[in-house]
Amino acid sequence: GAVVSQHPSWVICKSGTSVKIECRSLDFQATTMFWYRQFPKQSLMLMATSNEGSKATYEQGVEKDKFLINHASLTLSTLTVTSAHPEDSSFYICSASGTYNSPLHFGNGTRLTVT
């Protein structure tokens, strides 16, 4: 089945630094990937839609200059949390679909802790 790989699985960084998270579709091409954020005991909140070769589409309330998304190829999307603050600590999960009629598959997620 379709596999989505996310790296790193966890990261601890200091306040003010930037962190990059990678999302790869391993056995299929994904023109679209989605980035979600999940706080403890809460639901998955869609942050943005990553489109290969074009600008990402951000959901209302998500700062595009803080959460930089790059989808440079059909198998890789990256999310960079810039100038991270403790309130950005969360579980970030990407997802991708290979074709029009295939369900979304999720990466393993990245647990970000900002100290």
> What residues make contact with other proteins under the rule CB under 8 A?
32, 34, 42-46, 49, 60, 91, 93, 95, 97-109, 111
Shortest reach from residue 65's CB to other proteins, in Å: 21
Q: Are 104 and 36 in contact (CB under 8 A)?
A: no
State in angstroms the smallest separation of the CB of 10 from other proteins: 10
Centroid of chain to Cα 49: 9
Q: Is the CB of 60 or the CB of 65 nearer to other proteins? A: 60
Residue 88 has φ and ψ, to the nearest 5°, of -85, -5
Cβ nearer to other proteins, comparing 54 with 60: 60
Minimum Å gap between C-beta 52 and other proteins is 13
Minimum gap (Å) between residue 83 Cβ and other proteins: 26
* Residue closer to other proteins (CB basis): 18 or 26: 26
Q: Within the chain, how many helices (H) and strands (E) appear?
A: 0, 11
Q: Which is nearer to other proteins, 40 or 86 (CB)?
A: 40
Do the beta carbons of residue 93 and residue 38 sit within 8 Å?
A: yes
* Residues 1 and 104: beta-carbon distance below 8 Å: no
Task: Round to whole Å and give the CA distance between 95 and 85.
Answer: 24
